[in-house]
Structure 1
Amino acid sequence: MREAMFDKNTPGLNLLNPACTIYQEIAKIAAVMRSSEPLRFGRMYYRSAFHQPGDTLNSLYGGVGGVPVRQGPAGVFIQLHLDGQQFVILE
């Protein structure tokens, strides 16, 4: 995808369309990330050693109940369905 955004034969030429709705919405997201320190410096850590498929992570904040740890092709994961600006803390 990234290669399609730039013309290799004309370095410096940007083929993105800033008038496009998708471009403008991504720009809004980027602006929020730049203006919010936790979003700029937040990290995601791969922690497969802590949880195994079949375990349940319980909600400590922002949710109710628990979510199962599942096995995927690239490792274990959890699936959350969150509303806009919602976050959860899991144990």
Structure 2
Amino acid sequence: FIREAMFDLDAAGLDRLNPNCRIYQEIARIAGVFHTQPALRFGRMYFREISGNGRDFGLPEGHPCTLAFSRILANDEVLVAYNTSTTDQRADFVLVDDTLHRGGDTMTFLYGGRGTVTVQDHPDPGNPSRFIQLPLAPMQFVILR
């Protein structure tokens, strides 16, 4: 019932939200990314396998870990990732769609980071997988395209 406490049912349009609060501002930024990226709104969702060594990939097991998923719409992939550790940095490798990306392509941070990361080919020549390496601070949340 916390949600009900944020809004005054007797006064339409009145709320108890504090737009000066950092949490409010960050949620607004994430919502802004959501509204500008059709893949985030309408794309199919795929959980992404991770690796600590860039070779052996699998879904996260245990805690802490990097949780990652992609939303794909047509030829557009948006990747969302989160470091669940409250104390440790992580630099896991995260699979991306190998039909949409080639080695050397870049993915750009839309939220939670700056610049780009480079898509890499799997080191085994017979493995068509492609991935990025994501350095994440404790509890860091990022969105890339």
TM-score with structure 2 length normalisation? 0.35
Give the Cα–Cα distance (whole angstroms) in 2 for the partners of residues 43 and 4 of structure 1: 34
Give the Cα–Cα distance (whole angstroms) in 1 for the partners of residues 60 and 30 of structure 2: 30
Alignment partner for residue 67 of structure 1, among 59, 62, 67?
59
One-letter code aligned to 1:26: I
Match of 2:67 in 1: 82
Aligned residues: 66
Give the Cα–Cα distance (whole angstroms) in 2 for the partners of residues 43 and 27 of structure 1: 23
Q: Which has the higher strand share?
A: 2
Gaps of 5+ in 1: 45-58, 70-79
Give the Cα–Cα distance (whole angstroms) in 1 for the partners of residues 67 and 15 of structure 2: 34
Change (3 A) 1:6 1:43: farther
Identity %: 48
One-letter code aligned to 2:66: H
- The alpha carbon displacement at 1:65 in A equals 2.7
- The alpha carbon displacement at 1:88 in A equals 4.1
Change (3 A) 1:68 1:32: closer
Deviations 1:47-73 (A, max 9, x none): xxxxxxxxxxxx4xx64332389xxxx
Specify which structure has the bigger relative contact order, considering alpha-carbon pairs within 8 angstroms and separated by 6 or more residues. 2
Gaps of 5+ in 2: 69-78, 82-93, 97-145
Give the Cα–Cα distance (whole angstroms) in 1 for the partners of residues 60 and 80 of structure 2: 22
Runs ≥4 in structure 1, deviation > 6 angstroms? none
Change (3 A) 1:36 1:5: same
* Root mean square deviation, CA, Å: 3.6
Contact kept in structure 1, 2:6 and 2:16, CA below 8 Å: yes
Q: Which has the higher helix share?
A: 1
Deviations 1:12-49 (A, max 9, x none): 212111111111000000001111110121355xxxxx
TM-score with structure 1 length normalisation? 0.51
Question: Larger radius of gyration, structure 1 or 2?
Answer: 1
Contact kept in structure 1, 2:35 and 2:41, CA below 8 Å: yes
